[in-house]
Amino acid sequence: MYYFKFIWGVLMAGKDRIKIAIAGVGNCASSLLQGIEYYRKNEDADAIGLMHRDLGGYFPYDIEVAAAFDIDRRKIGKDVSEAIFSLPNCTTVFCPDVPRTGIEVSMGRVLDGCSEHLFNYPEECRFLPVEGEGATKEEVVSVLQNSGAEILVNYMPVGSEEAALFYAECALEAGCAFINNMPVFIASNPEWAKRFEEKKLPIIGDDIKSQLGATIVHRTLADLFKKRGVKLERTYQLNTGGNTDFLNMLNRNRLASKKISKTEAVQSVLAERLENGNIHVGPSDYVSWQKDNKVCFLRIEGKLFGDVPMNLELRLSVEDSPNSAGVVIDAIRCCKLALDRGKGGILYQPSAYFMKHPPKQYPDDEAYLMIEEFIAGNQ
């Protein structure tokens, strides 16, 4: 074992660190950074909670934060290791001792990041944005360039179209790859995808799937219906939670792309697409005491052999943000592999496996095989 580790250490000695920048130091970023430290500390433990411990030679703890942006007064100027535990973040603390990074959270650009309705809620459960417009594009690009970040990870709130596109633009100018974890369509918009292709910068998107969340469970059950010859006639997926993501999504005007992303993720695996009136998928309510716990209520109605009706009900309870970090930790390393291989533009396989609204949808078992081929360098 020792010999193996020694040889491995020599082989990996030349491997780069993976320097990322984060836009939006909220709950998902908190879980991601806690996870990087957690797996550093538990290097020899069984890889609980990881889809890949070693992904193409990269481990979770090879990821390092080089820059971070936010607009919340309680986060800007703090070391990232401290900002991830600042209000209104409320996710589970599974790794409290995240060492100082020496990287302070920089001012981002406000744009449409903070919905008006949030101001009706107490400060401890909503954003507390800076006065004014925040940083300029030149300032953000300059921070990115000086930091040496090679991948910008976008965690803007749902509905922040202008802010998401702003950070995508900054990534292009600064020469960073881009991972779009939220449902503004960038990787799945051919014009944006082309711009990343032209600059030879990889892009993965859009809207991160959770490791074991409502989307993947719903898709898997829908696929099961298809494979067992059961006609799926109607379905809903109702979700409640008490974090800022759910609070933000109370503003229905910000929800259009999230609804498309979540609904399309299910429609795309059905034997036959359902009429709009027969499918309802979306965030449903904000329950403040739930904090980062998300509860999904799922119902599927169908017809079995002989046209005989059946239905299925499922309740799924998960901590929302670690659930997304378990996937982002792989998306980042796939992005780094693409950078190492000089590959730019849309990364189809990682987008299909990791994202709810990729440029091209594949069934999950197919996407699983594709991602392994991608990691092995065969695609």
Ligand X SMILES: NC(=O)c1ccc[n+]([C@@H]2O[C@H](COP(=O)([O-])OP(=O)(O)OC[C@H]3O[C@@H](n4cnc5c(N)ncnc54)[C@H](O)[C@@H]3O)[C@@H](O)[C@H]2O)c1
Contacts to ligand X by CB under 6 A: 23-29, 69-72, 108-111, 113-114, 127, 155-158, 160, 163, 181-182, 207-208, 210, 243-245, 320-321, 323-324
Distance CA 264, CA 185 (A): 13
Report the residue number, 118 or 232, with the smaller CB distance to ligand X: 118
Report the residue number, 127 or 286, with the smaller CB distance to ligand X: 127
Least gap, CB of 226 to ligand X (angstroms): 25
**Among all residues, whose Cβ is closest to ligand X?**
26
Least gap, CB of 114 to ligand X (angstroms): 6
Distance CA 284, CA 296 (A): 9
Q: What would the two tokens of residue 197 be?
A: 């292709």
Report the residue number, 210 or 361, with the smaller CB distance to ligand X: 210
Least gap, CB of 118 to ligand X (angstroms): 10
Distance CA 230, CA 191 (A): 39
Q: What would the two tokens of residue 263 be?
A: 């609904």
Report the residue number, 149 or 156, with the smaller CB distance to ligand X: 156
Report the residue number, 283 or 345, with the smaller CB distance to ligand X: 283
| Whether the Cβ atoms of residue 301 and residue 235 lie closer than 8 Å to each other | yes
Which residue bears the tokens 């999504």? 249
Least gap, CB of 9 to ligand X (angstroms): 34
Sign of CA dihedral 244, 250, 253, 257: positive
Cα 330 to its chain centre, rounded Å, is 10
Encoded amino acid at 326, one letter: G
Distance CA 105, CA 278 (A): 45
Least gap, CB of 252 to ligand X (angstroms): 15
